[in-house]
Amino acid sequence: MAGAFRTDSPHRPRAESCKAATDLTDPVHNAGEYSVSEISMALKRTVEDAFGFVRVRGEISGYRGPHSSGHAYFALKDDRSKIEAVIWKGNFGKLRFRPEEGMEVIATGKLTTFPGSSKYQIVIEALEPAGVGALMALLEERRRKLAAEGLFDSNRKKPIPYLPRVIGVVTSPTGAVIRDILHRLSDRFPIRVLIWPVRVQGETSAAEVAAAIAGFNALAVDGAIPRPDLLIVARGGGSLEDLWGFNEEIVVRAVAASTIPLISAVGHETDTTLIDFASDLRAPTPTGAAEMAVPVRSELVGTVGDLGRRLDGAMLRLVESRRRELRAATRALPRLDDLLAIPRRSFDELAARIGRALGANTLAHRGRLERTAGRLSPSSLERLTLRAHDRVKALGERQGRALEVHAERKRAGFARIAGRLRIEPIAQRVARGGVQIAEIERRGDRAFLRIVEKNRDRLDRAWRLAETLSYRSVLARGFALVTDAEGRTVRTASKVTSGDALTIEFQDGKIAAIAAGGAAEPRSKKAAKSKAPTQESLF
């Protein structure tokens, strides 16, 4: 490494002039002196110049995710060596996939040194898996992880609506996929389609697709933008790298969390992505997704018409069958005359017997009345009256004695109560009440005085404010208020014509005036007519 540095470096300190000549001939003393920082920076420049762009293949070791600062630190190793690596925060967000422990990758960047610990490292600017096999291994590992969380369970899948009113499509707005979907939907069953444009390839595609799915689910059912009844996530075919955005966890979790049924149509029939496992239905192609989403309208109309005709025929046959059954049942029923023969005869017999029964009943009641009248006489009524009078007299005597007993009991009760009552406690309570009333009166007077004083202060402040805002304060500063004959304020000279009656109000009074000229002319016109005679006085 010594040959890599110049001995006449400007950073090398000069030899001291006091050294002996024999010392200068010593090869040890002729070597240049470097400080630790100087040689560290020289090594850093040499390494960066020689390895400013490298591609290193190795296995990720010691990866624990990004640091709190956003940078990622780990190492790349093979079976014999190891090199430290770092991905700065700005480049880490641009990676197409996230590094994982044990993954074999190809890192693109530059070599540099870290003077603080005499180590060298690679600053990674781009990272990619080492071949399709590594991507497949990463994909399989991610599939097992998400499956273990239950995101691919069949009991989570929702049924696809037979005839959705609105379909939301998440795809690129410029590709052939959206045209194929719209064309097939138009052929089969024209329906309203909402398109959420996203990038279907690149670094931001996964985040945009996940945001589109969440955005459709966030729409209100009765909002200005209708909420779709079905979602289709579509993309054309491509390589595993091209379709990698649909294998990201953020997209798979968004599909699994969707409350709207979702059909995945990513790639061709042989292409498989992780959202195919999380979606409610997988279509082999985007066109196939459109065919699964809606039925053929003409076939549906024909089927409905055929079912309607079959229903009409079935109803006619049912009515005819019920009519035959009714006719058969009526033949087994007896005739109306046979049903009414016995009740009619019974009615006739009862009608004939009712006259005799009424006569016999009348005779029986007359005999009972005559027997009762025979037992009644004036002497019996007098006896009944006397007994009733004696009973009333006895009750009156008992009532007088009962009232005397009741009054005596009440008098004794009042005497006991009077014995317990004393004038002293009542007087004390009256005295305490008087003191309390006086205290309340004093507090009321003080409160009233405070309220009056507070209102007086508020009134004074309001009056001072009114005086400040009044136009009379402006008149006091030397201004005047001009009003016309009707009392309206004249604010501009353009509204005054010659001969108008005006009133000018000053601070100490008002004067009347007659306008002798109209509004003042602009300066340009006034300058042009400066030689013409003018009327300077307003009055």
Q: Decide if pLDDT at 507 tops 90.
A: no
pLDDT by residue (tens digit) across 391-417? 888 888 888 788 888 888 888 888 888
Q: Decide if pLDDT at 528 tops 50.
A: no
Q: Decide if pLDDT at 504 tops 70.
A: yes
Distance in angstroms (rounded) separating the CA atoms of residues 396 and 402: 10
Mean pLDDT for 421-436 is: 78
| pTM for this predicted structure | 0.43
pLDDT by residue (tens digit) across 345-368? 888 888 888 888 888 888 898 888
List C-alpha distances in Å: 321 to 229, 306, 310, 330, 365.
44, 22, 16, 14, 65
Q: Which residues contact 170 (CB under 8 A, 6 or more apart)?
A: 196, 198, 209, 212, 213, 216, 231, 232, 233, 234
List C-alpha distances in Å: 531 to 524, 534, 537.
13, 9, 17
Mean pLDDT for 158-169 is: 93
Distance in angstroms (rounded) separating the CA atoms of residues 369 and 378: 18
DSSP letter at 259? S
pLDDT by residue (tens digit) across 274-333? 999 999 999 999 999 999 999 998 888 889 999 999 999 999 999 999 999 998 888 878
Average pLDDT of the chain?
82
86-90, 180-184, 463-467, 497-501: which has the minimum mean pLDDT? Answer: 463-467
pLDDT of residue 257: 93
The answer to whether the CB of 172 falls within 8 A of the CB of 199 is: yes
DSSP helix/strand/coil, 165: coil
What tokens does 441 get? 């009166």
pLDDT of residue 377: 66
The answer to whether the CB of 275 falls within 8 A of the CB of 251 is: yes
Top-ranked range on mean pLDDT: pick from 113-117, 512-516, 520-524: 512-516
The answer to whether the CB of 70 falls within 8 A of the CB of 87 is: no
Q: How many CB atoms lie within 10 A of CB 205?
A: 22
- Would strands 119-129 and 82-87 be described as parallel, antiparallel, or unpaired? parallel
Residue 422: what are its φ and ψ, rounded to 5°?
A: -130, 150
pLDDT of residue 538: 41
DSSP helix/strand/coil, 98: coil
Q: How many CB atoms lie within 10 A of CB 189?
A: 18
What tokens does 365 get? 């009641």
pLDDT of residue 500: 83
